[in-house]
Amino acid sequence: MVISRRALLRSAAAFSGAGAVAAASHSVAFAQAGPAFHHGVASGDPLPDRVVLWTRITPSSDALPGSGIGGAVSVRWEVSRDAAFTSLAARGTVTTGPERDHTVKIDAGGLEPDTTYFYRFAGLGDAAQATSPVGATRTAPAFSADVSRLRFGVVSCSNWEAGYFAAYRHLADRGDIDAIIHLGDYLYEYGAGEYGGKEGSLRFHEPAHDIVSLADYRIRHGQYKTDPDLQRLHASVPWIPIWDDHESANDAWRNGAENHDPASQGPWGMRYRSALQAYLEWMPVRPGGTGDRLYRRLQFGDLCELSMIDLRSYRDEPAAAGTGWPAVDATERTITGADQMSWLVTGMTTAAARWRLIGNPVMIAPLVVPPLEPATTEALTQMLGLPRGGIPINTDQWDGYTADRRRIIDAIATTGTANVVFLTGDIHSTWASELPMNPANYPAAGTAAVEFVVPSVTSKNIDDILGVPERSVSPAAEEAIRQVNRHVRYVELDSHGYGVCEVTPGHVQMDWFFVGNLADPATGARHALSYRTRDGSPTIEPAAVLDPAAHRPGRS
C-alpha cells in the first residue's frame, strides 16, 4: 500500500501519541417552468486580451447534469465594461447540447488588458426567457506592463460531504482578489457517506456511488456547482484551477488509482477520459498547448508567471512503503512526465517576469524521517534498502519521485534562477517551508525555492481523523516535524481555510486564514499567520497581515 495523504496525517498524529445514473435519481431538484441557469456563471484563465466564460443552461426540469436529456439550445453571451451592459465589449452566440452536458464555454477575445468586465448569458429561441446571473471578471495585464501588485486567493481540497464552503464566501467578501488559484480536489469522487468530516457527512454526494462513468462525473460537477458560496466566488473573479487526484480517483497515476478496481469499474483509461472530459466541460479552463493538456502557463505583466502543473496524468505509480522504497530514487521514475518537466524547467529558468509561481498540487518540500546525507550514508541506505535522502512519510508527494525534484533543484542552481515560489494544496494542512538543496545539510547547503501550502477548504485533517478536540494532539506532532525537518518553518495540522497570496516586485507573501465550524454555513474566519519571501532570497520570514483595502482591482 502506498502511503496516502490520510495515512500521512495519521503518521503525523503518531508523533504525538458503475455506470450512468438516470436523471430521476438526482437529488438536486429545481423548480423551473422553462430553461434556466441553475449552476451559476464562472470565468477563468485570464489573458491580456481574453478570458474563458462558463455556464450551464438547463433546458427543462428533467435535463439535469449527466442525464443526456434535452436537445440543442442556443445561448447568447455578452461582455460589458459596466454592470448595466450599456457598453458591450464582446458578444456572440453558441449552441450547446447533451454532447457537452449543456455546458457553455467561450474564450471571449478582443478585450483590453488589466480591465474589469461583466458578463452574462441568455437563452435564445425556445429558451428566450432564461437569463443567467451577472458575473465579474478581469483580464490580465499586458505582458510588458509594469505591475506593482497582484493578489490571489489560494484554495484546495473542497469536500462536499465534510462541510460548507465558508472559505469561498470569505474570499468573495474581500474585494482585493485578482484571481483564484485552485490547486486541486475541487470535488471528491467517493460515494455518499464514504468520506465525510469529523462528525460524519453533513450533506451527501450524488450519485450515491463512487463516480466512474462520464454521466457520474457530470452529475458530481453539477452538484458542487449548486453550492451558493462556490457560485458566488466563481461569479466574483476569474479562477485558475488545476486538478489533483480526486477529480478522477484517489492517488491517481497514469495507469490507475488507489480508488479504482478494474474488475468492477472497468479500464482505468476509460474512467480517466470520462473524468477529464467532464472537467473540461464544467471548469473555466483553457487547455494548454493543443488538445486537452491541463498544464499551462499564464503571465501577469512583468511581475509574475504562473505555471499550473498536472501531477496525475503522467506520473508513475507511487512507490510502496517498505519493499518499494528503493524505487523512490529511481532516475527513470517521474511525477511530471518528460514533456511536462521540460516545459516546466524551460519556462521557470527563462521567464522574463520577476517571479516564477508554480501551482503545485502536491507538496515538494521534503518530509522524511530523518533527513540523510547521501554522500556519507549511501552505504547504509543501500544495505537497508532505504531511499538515499531518508524515509519518506508520503510517497504520493514529490518525496516519492526524488529524481524529478532533483531536476528542478539542479535547474534552479545551475541557471541561477531566483524567485521560485511553489503554491501547494493536497495535504489538508498549513505549511511554510524552504526547499533545501540538501535537507540533511540545511541551511548550510543553501535553498532553491520556497513553498507555501494552504489547508483544505473542508477535507479531513488530524483532529477530524482522530475525532479529538482541535489543537489537543497536533502541537506535539508539529513540533516533532519541525525538529526533524528543519527547513519546515511552520506547520499546522488541524485547521481548515484558505490563503491570500500577494505578489509585488519586492516580495511574495502568503496570509493564511482559518475558518471556524464547517457545519455552520455562516461560520467566521480569522487570520492565522503570514510569511513572505523577498526578491532574490529563497528564504521565508514572518510578516504582518495584508490590508485588504490596500489593493482594490478596478471596477468600472
pLDDT in tens, 293-335: 999 999 999 999 999 999 999 999 999 877 678 899 999 999 9
Residues 6+ apart with CB under 8 A from 277: 214, 217
Say if CB 449 and CB 420 are below 8 A apart. yes
Q: How many CB atoms lie within 10 A of CB 287?
A: 14
CA distance 422 to 362: 10
* Whether the predicted pLDDT of 55 surpasses 90: yes
Q: Indicate the helix (H) or strand (E) that contains 277.
A: helix 268-282
Residues 531 and 540 sit within 8 Å (Cβ to Cβ): yes
Q: pLDDT digits over 430-457, tens only?
A: 999 999 999 999 999 999 999 999 999 9
CA distances from 427 to 33, 363, 407, 494 (A): 44, 7, 23, 11
- Of 3.60.21.70, 3.90.950.10, 1.10.3720.10, 3.10.105.10, the CATH number of 5-16+30-545 is 3.60.21.70
Nearest-angstrom CA–CA distance, 199 and 160? 13
Single-letter residue type at 121: F
Give residue 188's Cα distance to chain centre: 12
Q: pTM to 2 decimals? A: 0.94
Please choose, from the candidates 40, 45, 23, 250, the residue with its C-alpha nearest in 3D space to the C-alpha of residue 165.
40
SS (H, E, C) 156-171: CCCCHHHCCCHHHHHH
Q: DSSP state, 237?
A: S
Q: Which amino acid is at 190?
A: Y
Mean pLDDT, rounded, for 122-133: 94
Amino acid sitting at position 183: L
Residue matched to cell numbers 441553475: 38
Tell me the pLDDT band of 387, cut-offs 50, 70 and 90.
confident
pLDDT at position 380 is 60
Q: What is the mean pLDDT of residues 348-360?
A: 97
- Whether 26 has a pLDDT exceeding 50, the answer reads no
Taking the chain, what is the end-to-end CA distance rounded to the nearest angstrom? 55
Q: What is the 3-state secondary structure (H, E, C) of 360-418?
A: ECCCCCCCEECCCCHHHHHHHHHHHCCCCCCEECCCCCHHHCHHHHHHHHHHHHHHCCC
The answer on pLDDT for 173 being more than 90 is: yes
DSSP 314-373: SPPPPPPSGGGGGGGG-TT--SS-HHHHHHHHHHHHH-SSSEEEEEESS--S--EES---
Nearest by Cα to 500 from 545, 533, 542: 545
Closest listed residue to residue 319, CA positions, set 271, 391, 422: 391
At 396 the pLDDT is: 96
For 206-256, the pLDDT digits (tens) are: 999 999 999 999 999 999 999 999 999 999 999 999 999 999 999 999 999
pLDDT at 136 over 60: yes
Q: Using CA atoms, how far apart are residues 236 and 239, in angstroms rounded to an integer?
A: 9
| Residue 554, pLDDT score | 67
Contacts of 81 (CB under 8 A, 6+ apart): 87, 89, 115, 116, 117, 118, 556
Question: Reduced to 3 states, what is the DSSP secondary structure of residue 406?
Answer: helix
HEC letters along 114-171? CCEEEEEEEECHHHCCCECCCEEEECCCCCCCCCCCEEEEEECCCCHHHCCCHHHHHH
Q: In the predicted model, is pLDDT for residue 359 greater than 60?
A: yes
Rg (CA), the chain: 23
The backbone torsions φ and ψ at residue 93, rounded to the nearest 5 degrees and listed phi first, read -130, 155
Identify the pLDDT of residue 33. 67
Element (H, E) at 451: strand 447-453
CA distance 83 to 117: 8
pLDDT over 70, % of the chain? 92
What average pLDDT score do residues 84-95 get?
Answer: 97
Give kind and range of the element (H or E) at residue 488. strand 488-492
